[in-house]
Amino acid sequence: MTLHLKSIYTLIAALIMLIPYYTKAQNYQLEWSDEFTSPEINEKYWNFEYGLGKNNELQHYRSAKQNARIENEKLIIEAHKQHYEDANYTSARLNTLDKKHFKYGKIEVRAKLPQGKGTWPAIWMLGANHKKVGYPYCGEIDIMEFVGKVPGEVHGAIHYPIDRENNIDSVSDNYILPSTEDEFHVYSIEWNKHEINYFVDGDHYFAFNIDDAKRFGRKNVFRKPFYLVINLALGGKWAGEVDDSIFPTQFYIDYIRYYKIAK
The number of domains in the chain is 1
Report DSSP letters for the chain, one per residue: -PPPHHHHHHHHHHHHHHGGGGGSS--EEEEEEE---SSS--TTT-EE--EE-STTB-EEE---TTTEEEETTEEEEEEEEEEETTEEEEE-EEE-TTT-EE-SEEEEEEEE---STTEEEEEEEEETTHHHH-TTTT-EEEEEEE-TTSTTEEEEEEEEE-SSSS-EEEEEEEEEPPP-SS-EEEEEEEE-SSEEEEEETTEEEEEEEGGGG--TTPPPGGGS-EEEEEEEEEBHHHH-S--GGG-SEEEEEEEEEEEEEP-
The whole domain housing 231 covers: 30-261
Q: Could you tell me if residue 21 is inside a domain? A: no
What's phi and psi for 2, nearest 5 deg?
Answer: -90, 125
pTM of the model: 0.89
Q: Which of 99, 135, 139, 165 shows the shortest CA–CA distance to 219?
A: 139
d(CA 29, CA 127) in angstroms, rounded, equals: 23
> Catalytic pick from 35, 145, 181, 190?
145
pLDDT reported for residue 17? 44
With contact defined as beta carbons under 8 Å apart, do 147 and 120 qualify?
Answer: yes
| Side-chain half-sphere CA neighbours of 132 within 13 A | 7
The answer as to whether 241 is a domain residue is yes
**Contact of 9 with 231, CB cutoff 8 Å:** no
Q: Is residue 73 part of a domain?
A: yes
Cβ(213)–Cβ(222) below 8 Å: yes
The answer as to whether 61 is a domain residue is yes
Residue of 78, 108, 140, 190 marked active site: 140
Cβ-contact 229, 52 below 8 angstroms = no
Q: pLDDT 10s per residue in the chain (263 long)? A: 444 555 554 554 444 444 443 334 579 999 999 999 999 999 999 999 999 988 999 999 999 999 999 999 999 999 999 999 999 999 999 999 999 999 999 999 999 999 999 999 999 999 999 999 999 999 999 999 999 999 999 999 999 998 777 789 999 999 999 876 679 999 999 999 999 999 999 999 999 999 999 876 678 999 999 999 999 999 999 999 999 999 999 999 999 999 999 87
Is residue 16 domain-resident? Answer: no
In the annotation, is 57 catalytic?
no
Does residue 246 sit within a domain? yes
| 245 in a structural domain | yes
Q: Is 78 a catalytic residue?
A: no
pLDDT at position 142: 98
CA-wise closest residue to 104 among 261, 262, 263: 261
Query: What's 103's domain CATH number?
Result: 2.60.120.200
Residue 201 lies in a domain: yes
